[in-house]
Amino acid sequence: MPRFIEAIRWDRGFLVAGKAYNMPNINQEKILDRGGKVPVNRGYIPHPKHIPFEYDQITDHIYVGTNQCCQAHFDDMLLKKGVAADISLEDDRLDAPFGVQYYLWLPVPDHTPPTYKQLLIGATMLKHLVDNDIRVYLHCKRGHGRSPTLVSAYFILEGMTASQAIRRVRERRLIHLRRTQIRALHDFERTLSSS
């Protein structure tokens, strides 16, 4: 028997806290009939084979989403929102995001945390961009692990604890941080506070 998780809200046709992605095996009418509950296998809704372009705005300047932003050129929708920088954490693909003014590639294997140096470089770059009123799009493959980890590191750099930083990102985007990613953020916080 499948387990269920509560749906938080509908956003741009997607179900947040499970993001239905208009998948054929998930009937959105049935979701509404169940009071906003979504069937879950092993704690997660199965990802569609095709990764849709979707993202969430974390702050006025920070957007996190999938890698579909940058297939041939940077997505026009993001450019219209004033996004001028792209930070990619994909390890197996170097983007060519034509249309952005700033680009940083931090190759991190899927399901692993960025190294301390990658967290420091990425969070520092993100801070400089935000401080200079530049909007940034961060992505990994699906935008649920590596890129939210880096945004959390930015919030830690800004003075939050690791738990507060993770919570801040989770309030705006469905994320699936692994234990190693959470541990890396706590280590990042400890190292910053001791220096």
List the CATH number of the domain containing 160.
3.90.190.10
User: What pLDDT was estimated at residue 31?
Assistant: 43
User: What pLDDT was estimated at residue 80?
Assistant: 82
User: What pLDDT was estimated at residue 5?
Assistant: 39
User: What pLDDT was estimated at residue 43?
Assistant: 45
Looking at the structure, tell me whether residues 25 and 112 fall in a common domain.
no
Looking at the structure, tell me whether residues 162 and 109 fall in a common domain.
yes
Give Cα 156 to chain centroid, integer Å.
16
User: Which residues are registered as beta bridge partners of 87?
Assistant: 104, 138
Looking at the structure, tell me whether residues 9 and 91 fall in a common domain.
no
User: What pLDDT was estimated at residue 21?
Assistant: 41
Residue 45 lies in a domain: no
Residue 108 lies in a domain: yes
Whole-model pTM: value is: 0.72
Residue 49 lies in a domain: no
Q: Which domain holds residue 131?
A: 55-194
Q: What residue ranges of the chain have pLDDT lower than 50?
A: 1-44, 72
Question: For residues 86 and 48, what is the distance between their CA atoms, to the nearest angstrom?
Answer: 24
Residue 81 lies in a domain: yes
When divided into structural domains, the chain yields a total of 2
Give Rg (Cα) of the chain: 17
